[in-house]
Amino acid sequence: MTTTTQSKPAKPQDSRGLAGQTAGDTAICSVNQTQLIYRGYEIADLAANATFEQVAYLLLHGDKPNEQQLKDFKSELAAMREVDPGILEVIGKIAQSESGKDDVHPMSILRTGVSLISHVDPETEDNSPEAGLRKSKRLLAKIPTIIGHMQMARDGKTPVKPDANLDHAANLLWCISGEKPSEMAAKVMDVSLILYAEHDFNASTFTARVIASTETDMHSAVCGAIGALKGPLHGGANEKAMEMLSEIDEFINAGKGNVQDFMDNAFATKRKLMGFGHRVYKNGDHRAGILREWGLKFANEVNPDTKKWFDLGDEVQKIMLEQKKIHPNVDFPCGMTYFAMGIPVPQYTPIFVASRITGWCAHIMEQHADNRIIRPLAQYVGPELRSWND
């Protein structure tokens, strides 16, 4: 007699958070286990050979710029950097207040800034492709000015005006600090902006597309995206990663144990360790190694005292990989890199916006160009039908 063994039914996939679901088509970016591609160009190729302005043009226009197109694009952006003085005054007052310094996150101030500039943009309500491209450029140009004004106000310093002679990355650093960055600092920031510019239907981009699908304006969609990026499970992870490293350093200096002791306690208490793991990249984030290499180069050549953070990070990374088989994502080296550059930790995520605005705007324009309102269904798990009078 022949017997058969009945196999156990496959465990149903956890689809919460739309895990494993395809939510739409895009020609902007492809993310998979082995590659991150912007409009046909792989991220390592772009990080090694392109500038952020070239990548921004690529994302917004769809093609690599030629020499004249890049020159014109950079000139346009430089001419658009100024922000209405009344708006900057509001930003400064929020940032200078006691609550602004201690309780109001810079991402919330930046969100307010984008909302305010929508009121003085002459094309706010125009969703045509031509107006969308112009608004995208204005947002890209003005966001570093808002970030810089906010930080200088928080520091009690007189804000500086954007410098038309500096590229996007260098101007961003100038606006934040009031000091002209070194060539190395500008290069490292430029690479980080390339790495952060786009990442298909991540939480903030999907938020922007959902909002844009109602046929509302670009600024509204960007404000929603900023709100999504602020969360520690998304853009805010780079801040939390650096805060965690600082906590480990304090743990060691207080004589409580070593890195392994800290990690063992974190594992035992099921603490979420920021800067590790990714929904898509199960074998490692392609961007993390690139940014770590540049961050370590900066530390070694410009600020050797900060190399200790990379050594500490390497220990944490080794333990996570050996004991949990989890790789770091780009936010982990970002925290160390920006810290080595002297950037205030609360500004890490706003800097993310200064880059990702290109991807967001590209997606908003793509959504507006071939729109259908995004309205998924929900699986109801509440009570069965019942009568109010029972």
Residues acting as catalytic residues:
234, 278, 331
**Assigned token pair, 311:** 């050594």
Give yes or no for a contact between 58 and 38, defined as CB atoms under 8 angstroms apart.
yes
Q: What is d(CA 60, CA 27) in angstroms, rounded to the nearest whole number?
A: 11
SS3 96: helix
Long-range contacts of 204-207 (CB under 8 A, 24+ apart): 204/228, 204/229, 204/234, 204/235, 204/356, 204/360, 205/356, 205/359, 205/360, 205/363, 206/23
C-alpha 90/C-alpha 112 separation (Å) is 9
- C-alpha Rg value of the chain to the nearest Å: 23
- Rounded to whole angstroms, the Cα distance separating 360 from 269 reads 37
Report the run of H or E that residue 111 belongs to, with start and end: helix 106-118
Distance CA 34, CA 281 (A): 8
How many whole angstroms separate alpha carbon 172 and alpha carbon 29? 25
Rounded Cα–Cα distance for residues 196 and 293 (Å):
16
30 sits in which H/E element: strand 29-31
By three-state DSSP, how is residue 37 classified?
strand
Cα first-last separation, the chain: 58
Dist. CA 385–CA 390, nearest whole Å = 12
